[in-house]
């Protein structure tokens, strides 16, 4: 085992778009676990849009990430040393150890996972927080009924791709919004969505609304929103009465000022339900979600895709690319 470990800390808060200067790569000694702790060698690091919100100082569901601390992030890896009776050296574990090669944990929030049948990276995507986010927003907020139309923005991403596949499994019509013909082709041809709108071809509200009407002529009953901006405004114009909206993300505004909603009138006249949610606040739903997701992956009914950067030093650029839609599916960084 190496005597040193690399980590990436938050060096400064972004003003507008995230830049590489907001991060700093440091070399530190590999820590020794104290009584009750385990030392984990991180194999994969998860990159997710919520991290941008933690980098800035604004009112949110969590405190801003402290300057100089290791960047927050989900991880999966292998226990190197253990002084905790619940874990043994060699265990594969998922947790939140951040942007670093080695991490210490007291065991809280650390979960053993089985990587013999499913690659360990899947526990950061389809069988991790993104997958459970998709399951919760769709089943607990949208509550789709067979025959209804479910629209998903960022449909080729780690969350959106699972939403659409779960909607199809529930007997719904699934429509996606994604960026570019390659992503739209993947959404329809591989994931099984009924249609996909290329948002790059519809740069304004009226154009997006027309596109939604074309692929959802009976209207939209459920919207799983990951993007905001024109995607949200255009779909609001096409919602059916008593439609349900699960507000998961607003990535269109993450690199600058928040983007206002221009079609708020539809919330009233269509009597819509709009609910934001943070999946970490609903841990009671995780067992049921993971059971269904695991069965879907094992049975080949739920497919997933990953974009993998190599080496810890690549994390800042990979994260910036994620915020700009460059990734395809779940964005990961491979450390081992």
| DSSP 8-state code for residue 317 | H
Mean local confidence (pLDDT), 255-281: 90
94 vs 183: CA distance, rounded Å: 29
pTM over 0.75: yes
pLDDT for position 53: 87
Q: How far is CA 333 from the centre of its chain?
A: 14
pLDDT for position 155: 97
Structure-token pair, residue 264: 């708020």
Mean local confidence (pLDDT), 155-172: 97
pLDDT for position 196: 98
Q: What is the DSSP track for 86-144?
A: T--TT-EEEE---SBSEEEE-STT-EE--TTTS-GGGGGTTTSHHHHHHHHIIIIII--
CB 195 within 8 A of CB 176: yes
Mean local confidence (pLDDT), 81-100: 97
CATH superfamily of 129-280: NAD(P)-binding Rossmann-like Domain (3.40.50.720)
pLDDT digits (tens, 9 = 90+) for 39-57: 999 999 999 988 998 998 8
Q: What is the DSSP track for 278-316?
A: -GGG-GGGHHHHHHHHHHHHHTTSS---EEEEESGGGHH
Mean local confidence (pLDDT), 242-255: 89
First to last CA, the chain: 12
59 vs 325: CA distance, rounded Å: 25
Kindly list the domain boundaries of the chain, sorted by start residue: 4-124+305-334, 129-280
| Percentage of the residues of the chain whose pLDDT score is greater than 70 | 97
pLDDT at 121 exceeding the cut of 90: yes
pLDDT digits (tens, 9 = 90+) for 29-38: 999 999 999 9
pLDDT for position 252: 82
| Domain 4-124+305-334 shares a fold with domain 129-280 | no
| DSSP 8-state code for residue 255 | T
May I ask the CATH class of domain 4-124+305-334?
Answer: alpha beta
pLDDT for position 259: 81
306 vs 268: CA distance, rounded Å: 39
Q: Give 2 or 275, the one with higher predicted confidence.
A: 275
pLDDT at 2 exceeding the cut of 70: no
CB 323 within 8 A of CB 18: yes
pLDDT digits (tens, 9 = 90+) for 181-228: 999 999 999 999 999 999 999 999 999 999 999 999 999 999 999 999
CB 165 within 8 A of CB 138: no
Q: Give 260 or 89, the one with higher predicted confidence.
A: 89
pLDDT class for 288, splitting at 50, 70, 90? very high
| Average pLDDT, rounded, for the chain | 95
pLDDT at 325 exceeding the cut of 80: yes
Helices 129-136 & 160-169, crossing angle to 10 degrees? 50
């Amino acid at each position: 085992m190496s005597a040193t470990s690399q980590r990436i800390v938050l060096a400064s808060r972004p003003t507008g778009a995230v830049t590489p200067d907001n991060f700093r790569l440091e070399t530190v000694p590999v820590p020794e676990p104290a009584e009750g702790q385990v030392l984990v060698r991180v194999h994969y690091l998860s990159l997710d849009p919520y991290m941008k919100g933690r980098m800035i100082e604004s009112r949110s569901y969590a405190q801003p990430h402290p300057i100089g601390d290791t960047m927050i992030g989900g991880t999966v890896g292998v226990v190197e040393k253990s002084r905790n009776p619940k874990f043994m050296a060699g265990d594969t574990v998922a947790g939140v150890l951040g942007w670093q090669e080695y991490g210490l944990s007291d065991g809280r929030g650390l979960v053993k996972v089985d990587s013999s049948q499913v690659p360990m990276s899947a526990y950061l995507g389809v069988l991790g927080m993104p997958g459970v986010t998709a399951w919760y927003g769709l089943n607990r907020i949208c509550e789709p009924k067979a025959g209804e139309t479910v629209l998903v923005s960022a449909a080729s991403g780690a969350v959106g791709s699972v939403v659409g596949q779960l909607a199809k499994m529930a007997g719904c019509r699934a429509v996606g919004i994604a960026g570019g013909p390659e992503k739209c082709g993947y959404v329809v041809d591989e994931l099984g969505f009924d249609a996909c709108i290329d948002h790059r071809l519809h740069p304004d509200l009226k154009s997006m609304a027309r596109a939604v009407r074309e692929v959802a002529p009976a209207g939209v009953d459920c919207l799983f929103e990951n993007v905001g901006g024109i995607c949200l405004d255009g779909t609001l114009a096409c919602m059916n009465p008593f439609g349900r909206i699960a507000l998961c993300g607003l990535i269109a505004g993450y690199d600058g000022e928040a983007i206002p909603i221009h079609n708020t009138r539809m919330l009233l006249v269509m009597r819509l339900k709009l609910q934001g949610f943070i999946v970490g606040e609903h841990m009671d739903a995780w067992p049921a979600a993971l059971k269904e997701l695991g069965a879907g992956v094992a049975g080949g009914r739920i497919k997933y895709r990953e974009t993998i950067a190599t080496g810890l030093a690549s994390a800042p650029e990979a994260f910036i690319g994620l915020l700009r839609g460059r990734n395809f599916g779940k964005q990961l960084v491979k450390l081992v």
